[in-house]
Amino acid sequence: MLEVVVIGAGIAGFAAAHALWERGAAVTLVEAGRPGGEATGASAGMLAAQYEAEPGAKFRLGVECRARYPEFVARLEELSAQALHLRWDGVLVANLSQQEHEQAAEAIRWQREAGRQAELLDPGQAVELQTGVSAESVSYIWFPEEGQVDSQALGAALGPALARTEIRLISGNSAAEVLSRKGSVVGVAMADGRKLDAERVVLAAGAWSAGLRGLPRVLPVRPVRGQMLRFPAATLALERMVASHAGRYLVPKADGSVLAGSTMEDVDFDPSITEEGLRVIHDEVSQLVPALAGLKPLERWAGLRPLSADSSPIIGPDPELEGLIYSTGFGRSGILLAPLAGAIVADLVVVGKSEYDWKPFQPDRFAEGELTPS
């Protein structure tokens, strides 16, 4: 049996470990804290392939991931016996200025050309679709195919799901170094001094991925903090996601509560919530749904996204160190993108190739030692 160590049990590490195990590998998954306890459990759970998208490989990957999401959720629900509330209610994106309104036509044009659904709505039509959205917006883009999952439930489901597999989970213990000999991976050294032998190592340590010792290159992944709020149930009748072009959004959940996010902050590994960050989110989501202005949030938290230098994921084998494979750098879209990335990684490890075109995401697109794409 092929011995594989996967580092990190967020959605990226879980998906890779699970897909490897299904393909017959002997998998050890190491996790510094608890499965799903970092960015994965902190996220909003939007499965948004079209919102904030640009034409290109990442857009195509997102659309493919979205199409395959029901399969991933069904498997995770089956293994964990927990409901993940996958739903496809679409997202309304507010064009708050004349300029955003004018740019919307172009976004709608290329997305339709790519075979996706997208529509321009006037404020009256938007209010009809979703009560409570602002009638003051110039217009809205309506993406009916977008969806969401309960990512707090998803984060909490990873541990119980792993317990139902033969994946060996070592949690509460960090990997410190990727060990290699003569250009090939031989294992992982843990922070407590233990050594794990492995023929392959999958690096899926989220925002912490670049910090492992023994990596053959500077990995251009950094933490970007996102803060979140949750508003109470029953005060708003939101059914659909609502978002702005500035990256603020509202995501209604199954219990009626509404998540509001988020910030993009370069603050190194500081996971704090700040009054300023929460105020900006509250003010800007109140422009989308004015009834939120007077509401007091129920909960607040923050998470660290693993953002790569070009904002696209890093998927595939290291070009120099045989046996080291990356599944990281998912930035703002890891809940959407990581499950398919896990399947790609498992195919590359076990079969030696993937039917999906992962080449645009391979690690050697970055010049060696540089933080920008070559």
Please tell me the distance from the alpha carbon of residue 203 to that of residue 10, in angstroms, as a whole number.
Answer: 11
Cα–Cα separations (whole angstroms), residue 254 to 62, 83, 109, 348: 24, 10, 33, 37
Contact region for ligand FAD (CB under 6 A) — 74-82, 110-118, 124-132, 335-343? 335-343
Is 316 within 8 Å of 358 (Cβ atoms)? yes
Site for ligand FAD (CB under 6 A): how many residues? 44
By CB under 6 A, is residue 40 in contact with ligand FAD? yes
CB distance 300 to 262 below 8 Å: no
Cβ-count burial of 125 within 10 angstroms (0-12 exposed, 13-18 middle, 19+ buried)?
Answer: middle
Minimum CB–partner distance for residue 159 and ligand FAD (Å): 11
Interface with ligand FAD (CB under 6 A), residue from 93, 204, 292, 321:
204
13/139 with CB nearer ligand FAD: 13
Based on the shown chain and the rule CB under 6 A, indicate whether residue 142 belongs to the binding site for ligand FAD: no
120, 186, 193, 197, 323 from 179: Cα distances, Å: 54, 6, 12, 9, 11
> Which of 95, 111, 262, 312 is close enough to bind ligand FAD by CB under 6 A?
262
Our CB check for ligand FAD shows the closer of 116 and 248 to be 248
Of 17-36, binders to ligand FAD (CB under 6 A) are 30-33
Residues in 146-175 at the binding interface with ligand FAD, rule: CB under 6 A? 174-175
> What minimum distance in Å lies between the beta carbon of 209 and ligand FAD?
7
Cβ–Cβ under 8 Å, residues 288 and 91: no
Q: Tell which one of 90, 159, 187, 206 touches ligand FAD (CB under 6 A).
A: 206
220 contacts ligand FAD (rule: CB under 6 A): no
Tell me if residue 268 falls in helix, strand or coil: coil
Nearest distance from C-beta of residue 35 to ligand FAD, angstroms: 7
- Per the document, the length of the chain is 374
Angle ∠(165,321,356) on CA atoms, nearest 5: 60
Q: How far apart are CA 265 and CA 224, in angstroms?
A: 5
Cβ contact 307:222 at 8 Å: yes
- Inter-residue contact 230 to 271 (CB < 8 Å): no
Query: Is residue 336 close enough to count as binding ligand FAD by CB under 6 A?
Result: yes
Query: For residues 272 and 263, what is the distance between their CA atoms, to the nearest angstrom?
Result: 12
Whose Cβ is closer to ligand FAD: residue 107's or residue 281's? 281
Q: Which is nearer to ligand FAD, 12 or 94 (CB)?
A: 12
Q: Which of 51, 208, 356, 358 binds ligand FAD (CB under 6 A)?
A: 208
Near ligand FAD by CB under 6 A: residue from 63, 73, 228, 241: 228
Burial 177-200, CB ≥16 within 10 A → b, else e: ebbbeeeebbbbbbeeeeebebbb
**Binders of ligand FAD in range 273-332 (CB under 6 A):** 303, 305-306, 328, 330-332
Cβ proximity to ligand FAD: between 289 and 338 the closer is: 338
Binding site for ligand FAD (CB under 6 A): 7-13, 30-33, 37-40, 42-46, 174-175, 204-208, 212, 226, 228, 261-262, 303, 305-306, 328, 330-336, 338
